[in-house]
Every structure is written in C-alpha cells, then in structure tokens.
C-alpha cells in the first residue's frame, strides 16, 4: 500500500502543478476548452476497456503463472476495442463540442491516444496482479513528470495553447509504459500448468471483465460524465470552474485509491474480512483528514494559485470534497465485492447511482451550472458507496459497521506500520526478513 500510495501521489500532484499553469495561460474559457477535449478521452478509455485490465489483475493475482497468456489475450482484445472507440469519438466530436469547431478538433486529436492508453492499462493490470507495485508507481511517476516537463517550457515560451495542452495531457500518460519493459514472469511456464488455459482465454477474461466493466463505466460516468456534458448543457466557463474543482477534490482520493488497488489484489488472492474492514476504516480516516485540511485552507490558496477568476470554484470544490470523502468506505467495499467474485453486485450499485446522477445532471446543470453538477456527484457517490456495503452485508455477512469509524486496533495497526517503515528506512532487521 505504501508503494501504491506513493505512485498514486504523482498524478494528482502533477495535475495540481499543471492546473495553475493551464489556468493562467489559457484563462477560464481556454481551460474549459481543454477540459471539454480531454473529458471524452477519460470517459472512453474506461468504456473501451470492458473491464479487461481488472480481469487480468484478478486472473493473475489468483494464478501468477498465467500472466503471459492472460496479458497477450487482453492486449489483442484491447486493440480492437480501442480502434472502434476512436472511431466513435471522432464521429461524436461535433455533438460533444457543442458545435464549437475548435473544441471538435481538440477532441479528435485527443482520441488518437485511446489505443495506446488501453495497452498501458492492460500492462498495469498484469503488474498489479503480480503485486509489482513499484513498477506501477514508476509508471505513474514517469507519466506525471512528462506532463509537467512538457507544459512548463510551453508556458514560459508563450506557446501553451489549448491544442498544445490537449496533446500533452493525452500523450503524457503513455510514456509511463516504459516501466513495464521486460516485466518479470513467475519463473514457471504455462505449458507446465495444463489448467491455466481454461481461465485465461478470451471468453473467460471477457466474462469477468464485462461484469467489472458495467461498474467501471458507471463509476467513470458518475465522476466524469458531468465534464463531458457540461459544455452542451451549460458553457465552457462553468466547465473551466468545475475542472479546477474536480482537480482539487481528487486530493483525498490519493489514499483511497492506493488502498483500493492493493485490497483488490490481496483479497482476490485470499479473502479476509478483518483486513477488508481495517483497510476501509484507515483509508476513510486518512481521506477525511486530508479532505478537511484541503477544504479549510483552499479559501486562501485557491484564488492565489489559479487566479482570482477561479474564486467561484471554492464552494463547488467543497461539495466535491465531501462526495470524495463520504464515498471512500464504499469504494473499498466495492473492491472487496469484485475480489470475491461478485463484481456484478458492485456494478449494480454503480449503475443505479449513475442513472440518478445523469438524471440530476440534465435537470439542474442548465440552471445551476457547475454547482448543480457537484451536487449530482455527491448524491450519486452516497448511493453507490452504501449500496456496496449493503451487498457485502447481505451476501458475505460482513457488518456495515466494519467500514465506519476509527478503532484502537486501527491506531495500533498504523503505529506498527510506521515503526516497520522506520526500521526499513534505517536498514534494520525488517528489511532483511521481508
């Protein structure tokens, strides 16, 4: 979890560093154009995965010897899906841009990164299944560094345009694939394991993947559809405010995503109720503290960092921070459902919340703009989170109270972890006995 936490720290920090640059260089409207161009990219990348990277993670975590076969199968499926998705985005670019020709061109350019992004997602899934968390962290570090290293010179030389920003945001994450070069296997051959093939063929991967995918696409719709629809439902100014608010609201999720990713792989290998509950409580507490600090201090640093024109984003950010924190326990519960072979239940909760979110978007965004979109996200997050916890209670008899609060045992667990990390940093016995 520590390695994954470090890796998850880089993308949002890169966004926070680059967001003020984009805000000052492009203004609210220009920032809105870039958000309108890249929001469909994020949305479609998730839609076109069909849950296959998560399926690779699941299969490899349960049977590491299957990594090569599962990865090859997934890559073939992803290339075909990516090509179809790219064509769909280009065809829909006119509607997604709200009729703006400039934004339409930006969307088309960003769509060219769909296929390579799907390939990287499969490699990340295989590495996660093998518990190669440092590789995943390195990938995210390289991707984040590439984004900042490209934006700063463009900004300083006055060449940072919406087109240049769109290209950097779309291509930057692809460079992290270097981290998976010559990824180690398990030291055993799949040929020596006659049962491996039955779990790693296209049909098996697609079966698990589709059950995960329904929830994944609903989850990304819940968190990103608002940005894709903001321009046609409102305008690029409101989207510019919302893009900044969403960037800041991702800060508490740094902790949650690290715990969720590791929990999924660990619980798939060996389901443990106590570990799942402890992970949820510690993650929720850490996210809440980080969210509280962000909410209290942003009144001073947000206008200074992004410019006075973005001050109206403060209340929008507060609502999105609340949504992020309150959704943390259910996020870990959803990872537990998928890891225990019931991804369809997680998907059901996300589908329900997504439908409600979309209805609210069309109902209140035309009138209330970015604020209405933030409220819709809050409602959707609460529904999805608590539905996951309810399903775990009904199917696996895991009490909902296991996901809330912070217990004395959680404090002791955190202290033991801190001491272990301190001993390892000093080169103590823990490093040799790991």
Contacts of 32 (CB under 8 A, 6+ apart): 230, 231, 235, 236, 237, 238, 239, 240, 243
Domain assignment present for 155: yes
**Pairwise pLDDT comparison (390 vs 14), residue with the higher score:** 390
Q: Which domain holds residue 301?
A: 2-403
Mean pLDDT on 31-53: 77
CA 139 remoteness from chain centre: 14
Residue 232 has pLDDT above 60, yes or no: yes
Domains in the chain: how many in total?
1
| Residue corresponding to tokens 């997504």 | 354
Reading the block at residue 252, the tokens are: 């508490």
- 424 lies in some domain: no
Residue 101 lies inside a defined structural domain of this protein: yes
Q: What pLDDT was estimated at residue 433? A: 41
Instruction: Give the confidence band of 296 by pLDDT, cuts at 50, 70, 90.
Output: very high
Q: At what angle do helices 273-306 and 328-339 cross, to 10 degrees?
A: 140
**What's the whole-model pTM score?**
0.63
What is residue 316's predicted lDDT score, i.e. its pLDDT?
93
Q: What is the pLDDT of residues 123-174, one digit of tens each?
A: 988 888 887 878 888 888 888 888 888 889 999 888 888 898 888 888 877 8
- Report yes or no on 422 lying in a domain: no
Tell me whether residue 423 is in a domain. Answer: no
Within a domain: residue 427?
no
Angstrom distance (rounded) from CA 403 to CA 256: 13
Work out the end-to-end distance of the chain between its first and last CA atoms, rounded to an integer number of angstroms: 15
Q: Please give the backbone phi and psi of residue 379, each rounded to the nearest 5 degrees, phi first.
A: -65, -45
Decide if 300 is inside a domain: yes
Q: What is the pLDDT at residue 295? A: 92
What separation in angstroms does the CA of 165 have from each of 104, 160, 162?
15, 6, 5
Highest mean pLDDT among 64-68, 81-85, 278-282, 294-298: 294-298
Would you tell me how many other CB atoms lie within 10 Å of the CB of residue 47?
Answer: 19
Give Rg (Cα) of the chain.
21
Q: Give a yes or no: residue 429 inside a domain.
A: no
Cα angle vertex 226, ends 115, 353, to 5°? Answer: 95
**Of 162 and 223, more confident:** 162
Token reading at 128: 């996660």
**pLDDT at residue number 399:** 86
Interior angle at CA 46, CA 42 and CA 51, nearest 5: 165
Average pLDDT over residues 70-75: 83
The H or E element spanning position 298 is helix 273-306
Measured CA to CA, the distance from residue 194 to residue 408 in angstroms comes to 47
| Lowest-pLDDT choice from 26-30, 277-281, 405-409, 413-417 | 413-417
Pairwise pLDDT comparison (311 vs 346), residue with the higher score: 311
The stretch 318-334 carries a mean pLDDT of 90
């Amino acid at each position: 979890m520590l390695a994954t936490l470090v890796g998850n720290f880089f993308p949002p920090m890169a966004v926070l560093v680059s967001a003020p640059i984009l805000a000052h260089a492009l203004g609210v409207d220009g920032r809105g154009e870039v958000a309108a161009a890249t929001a469909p990219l994020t949305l479609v990348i998730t839609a076109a995965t069909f849950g296959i990277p998560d399926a690779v993670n699941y299969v490899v975590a349960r049977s590491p010897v299957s990594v090569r076969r599962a990865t090859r199968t997934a890559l073939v499926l992803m290339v075909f899906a990516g090509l179809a998705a790219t064509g769909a985005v280009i065809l829909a670019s006119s509607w997604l841009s709200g009729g703006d020709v400039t934004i339409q061109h930006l969307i088309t350019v960003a769509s060219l990164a769909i296929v390579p992004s799907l390939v990287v997602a499969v490699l990340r899934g295989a590495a996660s299944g093998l518990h190669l968390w440092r590789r995943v962290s390195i990938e995210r570090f390289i991707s984040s560094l590439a984004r900042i290293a490209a934006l700063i010179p463009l900004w300083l030389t006055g060449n940072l345009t919406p087109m240049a920003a769109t290209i950097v945001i779309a291509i930057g994450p692809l460079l992290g694939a270097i981290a998976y070069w010559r990824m180690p296997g398990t030291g055993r051959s799949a040929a020596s394991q006659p049962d491996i093939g039955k779990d790693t063929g296209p049909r098996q991967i697609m079966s698990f993947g589709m059950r995960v995918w329904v929830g994944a696409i609903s989850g990304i719709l819940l968190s990103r559809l608002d940005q894709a629809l903001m321009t046609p439902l409102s305008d690029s100014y409101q989207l510019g405010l919302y893009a900044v608010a969403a960037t800041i609201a991702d800060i508490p999720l740094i902790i949650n995503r690290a715990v969720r990713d590791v929990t999924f792989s660990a619980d798939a290998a060996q389901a443990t109720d106590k570990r799942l509950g402890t992970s949820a409580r510690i993650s929720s507490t850490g996210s809440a503290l980080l969210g509280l600090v962000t909410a209290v201090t942003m009144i001073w640093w947000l206008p200074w960092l992004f410019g006075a024109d973005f001050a109206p984003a403060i209340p929008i950010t507060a609502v999105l921070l609340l949504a992020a924190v309150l959704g943390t326990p259910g996020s870990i519960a959803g990872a537990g459902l998928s890891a225990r072979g019931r991804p369809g239940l997680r998907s059901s909760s996300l589908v329900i919340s997504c439908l409600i979110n979309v209805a609210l978007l069309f109902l209140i965004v035309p009138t209330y703009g970015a604020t209405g979109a933030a409220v819709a996200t809050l409602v959707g997050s609460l529904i999805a989170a608590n539905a996951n916890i309810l399903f775990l209670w009904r199917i696996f008899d895991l009490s909902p109270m296991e996901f809330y609060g912070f217990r004395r045992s959680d404090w002791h667990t955190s202290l033991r972890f801190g001491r272990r990390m301190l001993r390892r940093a000093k080169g103590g016995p823990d490093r040799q006995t790991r």
